[in-house]
Structure 1
Amino acid sequence: MLNYQNKNNSLQNRFAKYVQIDTQSDPTSPTVPSTEKQKNLGKVLVEELLEMGITDAHLDDFGYVYATIPSNTEKRVPVICFCSHMDTSPDCSGTNVKPIIHANYQGQDLVLPDDHNIVLKMSEHPDLKHQIGNDIFTASGTTLLGADNKAGLAEIMEAASFLMQNPTFKHGTIKILFTPDEEIGRGVDKADLKKLGAEFAYTVDGETLGSIEDETFSADGAVLTIKGVSTHPGFAKDKMESAIKILSDVISSLPSDCLSPESTEAKEGFIHPVTISGSVEQAEARFILRAFDDEQLEANGELLDATVRNIIEDFPNSTYELKITEQYRNMKKVLDEYPQVIAYGIEAIERAGIKPKRQSIRGGTDGSRLSFMGLPCPNIFAGEHAFHGKQEWASVQDMEKAVETIINIAAIWEEKA
């Protein structure tokens, strides 16, 4: 029988500590990790794991944290891994995060103290309807919170602490993997799966209480470079071909009533410009391409290319280069071959007293790529909401249920072995 208790608010304290460490990743950086500051959190996590008695916890040169909770059963149990990422999104500042707990939430608007224009309203955040009486974490209004994915980190750490302190609670070998750079699509680029030695895994990076996700977008990244013609603007008639204007024409010519994040939902994909920079002579835009179906993803890339070709025909002295690179693929193809991974996750959620919600995610996790690297890996809820922005929030009680679910997963794999 599971007897996990959030003693002395240890879960809240872990989470609040982690979100105050700036770990924002940088898509323009060529290094691994993309920002050295991600290692600052990695070092803290390793220190805490060692204090729990996990003797092999370590941070490698690439910013990955590895650790092992040894088996305490004589059964031959498949080795499972729990994974979360340490970085926060480049889309919103993660510097000087001030976590705030709004205790005993009663449905009111949550006005954030450092910017009164940032207000969380139940009408705009439907999951708040299920949080009456719960304690809600937000930031102060000038940064994101970092629940994506530091809620997952705190939950895995809390579960690890429980397992280390309760040796009579049977489980097989448990691996822990904390990754950098997930938010920029590089989360497992340097993950050493041979060293990890796991057979199945679960990322803890989901949203709504009780959710388990076995399907993600397939994803590509695209870099479009326009080389125009620069000349003195006073003498530019019939000579200048501004790369900035060409690129602007391309972006404005893409569909807005479909194939755009603002106009899509459910299983609909999109073409999304995320950064733009440059000058008259050369300009660059970075895109993310998303679709649940690989053929549709390829078609999205072809549409982007066709749009560029159509626009640049009016600029005979300008050229373009479009580089499309694979980021991750829909993990459902792999997970359908290992139904027990999902089944045990669903049972673990039920044992926590929650109704499971099996669903797709309009995004990706490290599990997408891990699945195709030979480590089948669905995603379970962490209780993070409205991520990548200043209205990000998380529920303490939902996070506690995520801890219970992680512990239950460990127990179920041992029981079924």
Structure 2
Amino acid sequence: MISKSNIIDRFTSYVTIDTESNPESETTPSTKKQWDLATKLADELKVMGMAEVEIDENAYVMASLPTNVAHKVPVIGFVSHFDTSPDFTGKGVKPQIVEDYDGKDIILNEDLDIVLSPDYFEDLLQYKGQTLITTDGTTLLGADDKAGITEIMTAMEYLINNPEIPHGKIRVCFTPDEEIGRGAHKFDVEKFGADWAYTMDGSQIGELEYENFNAASAKITISGKIVHPGYAKDKMINSMYIAQDFINSLPRMETPEHTEDRQGFFHLTQINGKVDETVLQYIIRDHDKNHFAARKEMIEDLAAEINSQHAREAVKIEIKDQYFNMKEKVEPVMHIVDIAEEAMKAVKVTPIIKPIRGGTDGSQLSYMGLPCPNIFAGGHNFHGRYEYVPVESMIKAVEVIVKIAEITSEKYKD
């Protein structure tokens, strides 16, 4: 039996540690504070009795649970990331426990009039009667992906304490910087040594995913000319106006708030502007490889057009690929998805197989030789003040991990 109080205590101890990553940093991890949780996790793994516990110079934490069966079983892995998104502050997280949720509005912060309401977030209603963990409305929660870490840690502890459950060797890894697209950049797949793995990084209970966006970032630097406004006639060039033209020239309905399923988008994430220079930060996403290439080409063509209008290089672009759709790498080994689906059904979770409108470490790992589908971690409304996670969903995720280990062992039994 998975202890609810153990899950809550472990999860809250993780989310109260600030691990926000920084896309502007060139180091790994991108912020020193990520070491705080990485070190804590390594220590906890040692205390619970995991083997081969190590933390490398880039804060990647790896450990093993040795096999407890005599027959040969493929080595499987479970992966989660400990950084949180720079989209919203993760400093000073104050998790709130909502017991026996009644299906009504949840007051996150009375003083600031911040309310988590099922009128807007309808998914809340499927968790009536359950225990929810929310924010206090001033930070994100960090269920993405500290819920996944909680589940992996708890599952390993459960298997150690219940040796009658058969399993092969299991590897676990906790990574930095996933939220800025670099979670797997320095992941040592050979050292990890798993035949396949699963990221515990999905959202609502039941999610099972082996398709994700192709992803790129785009930095658009627009140069102007600053002149005293009193003498600016035919001399000043305001880069912010050029930036406005650039933004408005991209398809307005191809943005996150207007797309769904496998539809791609351009997402403007940040603007820093002055008269003489404006910098736009975009992310580009599409499930289809050809459409993805076309989106990057559209950015380049738009920059060229604006430059021709101004008869100079007013717009400079820098596009960086971040990760690719893992479907191409997972489909040849679909049995690893089948095992996860079977495990969910065995613990009475209805699988929801769908494409990810995002990415996980698993997408990069799959291209690095480690096929790695994604499984639900249970949270909702990631990267913002309305984030929450049902404790019962985390418990079910633990049960899924344990069952995957058991089913894998049984399938390879002589």
- Asked if residue 98 in structure 1 is aligned to residue 98 in structure 2, the reply is no
- Asked if residue 361 in structure 1 is aligned to residue 359 in structure 2, the reply is no
Aligned counterpart for 1:144 among listed residues 140, 145, 158: 140
Match of 2:392 in 1: 397
Match of 1:228 in 2: 224
- Decide whether the 8 Å contact of 1:223 with 1:324 is kept in 2: yes
- Distance (Å, rounded) in 1 between the aligned partners of 2:111 and 2:297: 42
Match of 2:50 in 1: 54
Structure 1 residue 114, shift from structure 2 partner: 5.6
Match of 1:181 in 2: 177
SS of 1:153's partner is helix
- Asked if residue 200 in structure 1 is aligned to residue 196 in structure 2, the reply is yes
Match of 2:127 in 1: 131
- Decide whether the 8 Å contact of 2:306 with 2:315 is kept in 1: no
- The TM-score normalised by the length of structure 1 is 0.96
Match of 1:6 in 2: 3
Structure 1 residue 278, shift from structure 2 partner: 4.0
Aligned counterpart for 1:261 among listed residues 222, 242, 256: 256
What letter corresponds to residue 345 of structure 1 in structure 2?
A: A
- Distance (Å, rounded) in 2 between the aligned partners of 1:31 and 1:245: 34
SS of 2:182's partner is coil
What letter corresponds to residue 398 of structure 2 in structure 1?
A: V
Aligned counterpart for 1:30 among listed residues 5, 13, 26: 26
Structure 1 residue 255, shift from structure 2 partner: 1.7
- Decide whether the 8 Å contact of 1:246 with 1:312 is kept in 2: no
- Decide whether the 8 Å contact of 2:133 with 2:390 is kept in 1: yes
- Distance (Å, rounded) in 1 between the aligned partners of 2:246 and 2:169: 52
Match of 1:153 in 2: 149
Match of 2:104 in 1: 108
- Distance (Å, rounded) in 2 between the aligned partners of 1:152 and 1:114: 30
- Distance (Å, rounded) in 2 between the aligned partners of 1:65 and 1:152: 14
Match of 1:324 in 2: 319
Aligned counterpart for 1:290 among listed residues 285, 291, 297: 285
Structure 1 residue 115, shift from structure 2 partner: 5.0
Aligned counterpart for 1:335 among listed residues 327, 330, 333: 330
- Distance (Å, rounded) in 1 between the aligned partners of 2:94 and 2:375: 26
- Distance (Å, rounded) in 2 between the aligned partners of 1:42 and 1:234: 56
Please tell me the root mean square deviation across aligned C-alpha atoms, in Å: 1.3
- Decide whether the 8 Å contact of 2:51 with 2:66 is kept in 1: no
- Asked if residue 85 in structure 1 is aligned to residue 81 in structure 2, the reply is yes
Identify the range of structure 1 (146-155 vs 300-309) with the bigger mean alpha-carbon deviation.
Answer: 300-309
What letter corresponds to residue 130 of structure 2 in structure 1?
A: N
Name segments (4+ residues, structure 1) moved above 4 Å. Answer: none
For residues 315-334 of structure 1, what are the alpha-carbon distances to aligned partners after superposition, in whole Å with 9 as ceiling and x for unaligned?
Answer: 33452221211111111111
- Distance (Å, rounded) in 2 between the aligned partners of 1:241 and 1:391: 41
Match of 1:378 in 2: 373
- Decide whether the 8 Å contact of 2:273 with 2:279 is kept in 1: yes
- Asked if residue 66 in structure 1 is aligned to residue 62 in structure 2, the reply is yes
- Decide whether the 8 Å contact of 1:81 with 1:176 is kept in 2: yes
For residues 285-316 of structure 1, what are the alpha-carbon distances to aligned partners after superposition, in whole Å with 9 as ceiling and x for unaligned?
Answer: 11110000011011111222222333344433
- Asked if residue 20 in structure 1 is aligned to residue 16 in structure 2, the reply is yes
Structure 2: gaps spanning 5 or more residues: none
Question: Cα distance 1:137–1:62, how it changes in 2: closer, same or farther (>3 A)?
Answer: same
SS of 1:336's partner is helix
Identity %: 45
What letter corresponds to residue 339 of structure 1 in structure 2?
A: M
Identify the range of structure 1 (52-61 vs 158-167) with the bigger mean alpha-carbon deviation.
Answer: 52-61
What letter corresponds to residue 392 of structure 1 in structure 2?
A: E
Identify the range of structure 1 (309-318 vs 210-219) with the bigger mean alpha-carbon deviation.
Answer: 309-318
Structure 1 residue 95, shift from structure 2 partner: 0.4
Question: Cα distance 1:106–1:240, how it changes in 2: closer, same or farther (>3 A)?
Answer: same
SS of 2:355's partner is strand
- Decide whether the 8 Å contact of 1:57 with 1:66 is kept in 2: yes
- Decide whether the 8 Å contact of 1:53 with 1:164 is kept in 2: yes
Identify the range of structure 1 (391-400 vs 233-242) with the bigger mean alpha-carbon deviation.
Answer: 233-242
Structure 1 residue 355, shift from structure 2 partner: 1.3
- Decide whether the 8 Å contact of 1:115 with 1:141 is kept in 2: no
- Decide whether the 8 Å contact of 1:115 with 1:142 is kept in 2: no
- Distance (Å, rounded) in 2 between the aligned partners of 1:235 and 1:52: 71
- Distance (Å, rounded) in 2 between the aligned partners of 1:336 and 1:317: 47
- Distance (Å, rounded) in 1 between the aligned partners of 2:312 and 2:325: 40
- Distance (Å, rounded) in 2 between the aligned partners of 1:31 and 1:99: 29
- Distance (Å, rounded) in 1 between the aligned partners of 2:157 and 2:47: 9
What letter corresponds to residue 235 of structure 1 in structure 2?
A: Y
- Distance (Å, rounded) in 1 between the aligned partners of 2:227 and 2:216: 35
Structure 1 residue 116, shift from structure 2 partner: 4.2
Identify the range of structure 1 (181-190 vs 120-129) with the bigger mean alpha-carbon deviation.
Answer: 120-129
- Decide whether the 8 Å contact of 1:85 with 1:150 is kept in 2: yes
- Distance (Å, rounded) in 2 between the aligned partners of 1:336 and 1:113: 45
What letter corresponds to residue 410 of structure 1 in structure 2?
A: A
- Distance (Å, rounded) in 1 between the aligned partners of 2:375 and 2:249: 38
- Distance (Å, rounded) in 2 between the aligned partners of 1:283 and 1:211: 40
Identify the range of structure 1 (296-305 vs 199-208) with the bigger mean alpha-carbon deviation.
Answer: 296-305
Match of 1:352 in 2: 347
Question: Cα distance 1:278–1:113, how it changes in 2: closer, same or farther (>3 A)?
Answer: closer
- Distance (Å, rounded) in 1 between the aligned partners of 2:307 and 2:243: 9
SS of 1:337's partner is helix
SS of 2:160's partner is helix
SS of 1:321's partner is strand
